Structure 1
Amino acid sequence: MANPHFKRILFFLQKRFYNAVSSSTNPNNSTKMVDRITDASYKRKTSIEICNSTSHLSFRIQYLTKACGLSLDSAISASKKVKLDGKKKYHYDSVVSFFKSHNFSDTHIAKLIEKYPGVLQLSISIKVEPKIQFLIQNGFDGLLLPEFVVSMPLILVRSLDAQLKPMIALLKGFLSSPEKILVSVRRGGSWCSNFERVQQNVDYLIEQGVPKNRIADMFLWHPMGMCHANDRVKYGVEKLKSIGISPSTPMFIHALRAILSLSESTWKRKRKIFESLGWSYDDFISTITRNPLCLCCSEEKLRQSMDYFVNTIKIDKQSVIGNPKILMYSIEKRVEPRYRIWKILGERNLKRPAFIWMLDRPENLFIKRYVTKYSDTHPDLLQIYQKCKEKTISPEGEEDCI
């Protein structure tokens, strides 16, 4: 029986061959081209060219799968992005060997080549080794090195002096360890190509009074926010200052992240959602100054959450304004199951706090204090809670959960 892996490669090559032939024999081509196709020598030449092309393609796929560890699908995709020549196999082998000698596992190498197949064509002495040595000298040793490079493979083609060195220097000024720098890079790996823009934004935020430790948090938790055009960042800062969020406050970077993700029209639409449920403009501003990340929720999510809290659970508006974080919780996975337990505790005359207090507790603490605490006298509570979490339920009847 034929190897399925081989059959897929053969099918792919046949498809490429068919497309090449179809292209050359298109009836819409000029009469001159049709006449040439009928010439036997031209046919032989075309066949040779197609065979050579197919041979190169076959080498690419085989090399990417066998030497680099890519799956067949990934190899086919990568083969469209890089031209590998069998005559240069020695160079490709040396690139792979170089990375292996620097703690890159087979998995690291496969991921690196999937992200940037062109790495196989880079000069080790000119492009790769100087950057690897620089990273090692700056604390990226052991597994930190391959994890960093795989997270940001384009550093291998960027300028060492103009891009990588100033980028690492900037990050080291805010983040205390290579481990934190790696976290930042993983969350925003493409921003190294916008280093000058990032530096401008950092300078502007410092000028506006944002503390250094808050900028560090921005790099750590939302590094892509530093890549926005400087005018956009200025707009966000001025918008937040106009509604009373000071750059010196801990909430500012979270608010900036939220505002940078919204267009002016989206801001207005989300404001109208609150107003449609009776929020005044001051209520709206009070809500987002307490938890600006609720603006990152979709319009549908905001409508669903506010409708559920105000109309189903009957929580008063001021309680929602005072605790806007609850708007971000999943209704199905968190709010409804906990509301069911809260109702049962009341029905059974068991001690319970305000529902919003219960809703805000971490999962393990909620279960400990309000579910398993009563396991001796009410052993069904845990089963009810677990089943409520497994499906969307009506909060009206216990029978819906059991």
Structure 2
Amino acid sequence: MYSLILHGRRSIELQKWRKLADSANLLQNAFAFSSARAVADVSLRDGRKGKNFTVSYLVGSLGFTTKLAESISRRVSFEVNGNADSVLSLFRSHGFTDPQISSIIMNYPRLLMVDAEKSLGPKLNFLLSRGASSSELTEIVSEVPKILGKKGEKTLGRYYDFVKVVIEADKSSNLKKICHSLPQGSKQENKIRNVLLLRDLGVPKRLLFPLLISDAQAVCGKEKFEESLKKVVVMGFDPTTAKFVQALRIVQGLSDKTMLEKVNVYTRLGFDGWEMFNRYPIFLALSEKNILNSVETFLSLGFSRDEFAKMVKHFPPCIGLSAELVKKKAGFLVKKMNWPRTTLVSHPAVLGYDMEKRIVPRCNVIKTLMSKGLLGETGNELPPIGCVLKNTDKEFLNRFVRKFDDQELVAELMTIFTGDCAS
């Protein structure tokens, strides 16, 4: 098995990995333009208020950069600091250092929303009561804060032990001794052995720990796991990437026959099925019905099969988008904003953007500028979709908001962009 690992490493080093564009969130709730100003502005305003407070809190209390705080605020948002202050105080009272607390919140920010007295406190005290030292507790929770999201003392204790073994393995050269100390054939022994094997293969801890604290079958068993791991290594997946773990999950969960059938579904549609698997392993988890429904959705919107194939080639997650979202976003961008359908063929990634947080606010700014005659040579010239939706917030604001000398206009546009305007 270890010779396979070494061979896999060498073959992986020789490969030139393709760089893929970042996929945005794919499955978010969206709504049409007609309700954007009447209904969406209310939720946008409330959400933006909480987001702004959260960003200020993270910057002031934990020293995060504004960029990092804004990223975290997309995952958790609050408008008062009482509960968050209690959580931070609780961690400090248990000996967590400020860098450790920052790491915990950065990786698992939802803990700021958890009741410190009724939920977090009892869990930390339970781990201390069963023999964990203060230093072990702070180290393990800092490495894998999602442990504190587990319910039930038995489950919490079991996963704590799993993580503890792997962390101790990092400090020991005798891995076999660690595994042999566990009950042979037990679920714990299998999981620890398999995770340590993945660690030796080069899978980073950030990908290993989620496997440890879940009941996923990807690292359970022995013969099936080793067989699946060999296949994934031979296929050339890079063990340092999330795609390696995704591929292992798929191969572990599907028979060879089922995998081939799913690959053939893509092939029949005109795609290279194995290339699709190599680029996005998770797509093999989609059922044939879901794949065909996706095709029908795009065809029903007027896209040709060749156009759909082009879109998938440039943005494979198109296949994973829900029919409802595709229809809403495409309808909004084509019918309400008047971008030609061919624009979506050239820029399919925009269909993956969040309707509420990105598409609607930016398009509201563009509509306002057009109504005032401030865009392009004609005054109401619709800019390219890429300039409006694909640029970063900073680039968009510099190009369409901050460039104006009229401060009242800038303030009005910023209000529209942030969703703080009245409906």
TM range (shorter): 0.5 to 0.7
1:337-359 C-alpha deviation (Å, 9 max, x unpaired): 21233344452145885133321
**Does 2:334 match 1:298?**
no
**Does 2:280 match 1:255?**
yes
Query: 1:18-29, aligned counterparts within 5 Å?
Result: none
Whole-angstrom CA distance in 1 between matches of 2:149 and 2:389: 45
1:175-217 C-alpha deviation (Å, 9 max, x unpaired): 2x4345336657886643366555444433454xx43327833
1:117 is aligned, of 138, 149, 153, to 153
Question: 1:377 Cα deviation (Å)?
Answer: 3.1
1:181 is aligned, of 208, 216, 223, to 208
2:401 is aligned, of 371, 374, 377, to 371
Determine if contact 2:127/2:137 at 8 Å carries over to the other structure. no
Question: 1:300 Cα deviation (Å)?
Answer: 1.0
Tell me the equivalent position of 1:267. 291
Question: 1:312 Cα deviation (Å)?
Answer: 1.7
Determine if contact 1:291/1:325 at 8 Å carries over to the other structure. yes
1:232-274 C-alpha deviation (Å, 9 max, x unpaired): 44444444455333646xx7545332341x2212222221111
SS at match of 2:413: helix
1:381 is aligned, of 395, 398, 410, to 410
Whole-angstrom CA distance in 2 between matches of 1:106 and 1:390: 41
**Does 2:219 match 1:192?**
yes
Residues 72, 296 of structure 1: alpha-carbon distance in 2 compared, 3 angstrom cutoff: same
Whole-angstrom CA distance in 2 between matches of 1:128 and 1:101: 14
Residues 345, 201 of structure 1: alpha-carbon distance in 2 compared, 3 angstrom cutoff: farther
Tell me the equivalent position of 2:243. 218
2:129 is aligned, of 80, 89, 96, to 96
Question: 1:174 Cα deviation (Å)?
Answer: 3.9
Residues 121, 105 of structure 1: alpha-carbon distance in 2 compared, 3 angstrom cutoff: closer
Residues 246, 111 of structure 1: alpha-carbon distance in 2 compared, 3 angstrom cutoff: closer
Determine if contact 2:362/2:388 at 8 Å carries over to the other structure. yes
**Does 2:193 match 1:165?**
yes
Determine if contact 1:310/1:316 at 8 Å carries over to the other structure. yes
Determine if contact 1:310/1:317 at 8 Å carries over to the other structure. yes
Determine if contact 1:309/1:315 at 8 Å carries over to the other structure. yes
Tell me the equivalent position of 1:136. 168
346-355 vs 278-287, which moves further: 346-355
Whole-angstrom CA distance in 1 between matches of 2:238 and 2:347: 26
SS at match of 1:98: coil
Tell me the equivalent position of 1:32. none
Determine if contact 2:211/2:219 at 8 Å carries over to the other structure. no
Normalised to the residue count of structure 1, the TM-score between the two structures is 0.56
Residues 133, 217 of structure 1: alpha-carbon distance in 2 compared, 3 angstrom cutoff: closer
SS at match of 1:212: coil
Determine if contact 1:201/1:233 at 8 Å carries over to the other structure. no
Whole-angstrom CA distance in 2 between matches of 1:337 and 1:246: 37
- Output the aligned Cα RMSD: 4.6
User: Which of the two has higher C-alpha Rg?
Assistant: 1
Determine if contact 1:184/1:220 at 8 Å carries over to the other structure. no
Query: 1:60-71, aligned counterparts within 5 Å?
Result: none
SS at match of 1:104: helix
Question: 1:303 Cα deviation (Å)?
Answer: 1.2
Whole-angstrom CA distance in 1 between matches of 2:252 and 2:333: 36
Tell me the equivalent position of 1:321. 345
Higher RCO (CA < 8 A, seq sep 6+): 2
Tell me the equivalent position of 1:330. 354
Whole-angstrom CA distance in 1 between matches of 2:118 and 2:263: 48
| Structure 1 residue identity aligned to 2:194 | P
Q: Which runs of 5+ in 1 are unaligned?
A: 1-68, 79-91, 141-156, 392-399
Determine if contact 2:165/2:192 at 8 Å carries over to the other structure. no
Whole-angstrom CA distance in 2 between matches of 1:200 and 1:70: 44
Residues 388, 212 of structure 1: alpha-carbon distance in 2 compared, 3 angstrom cutoff: closer
Normalised to the residue count of structure 2, the TM-score between the two structures is 0.53
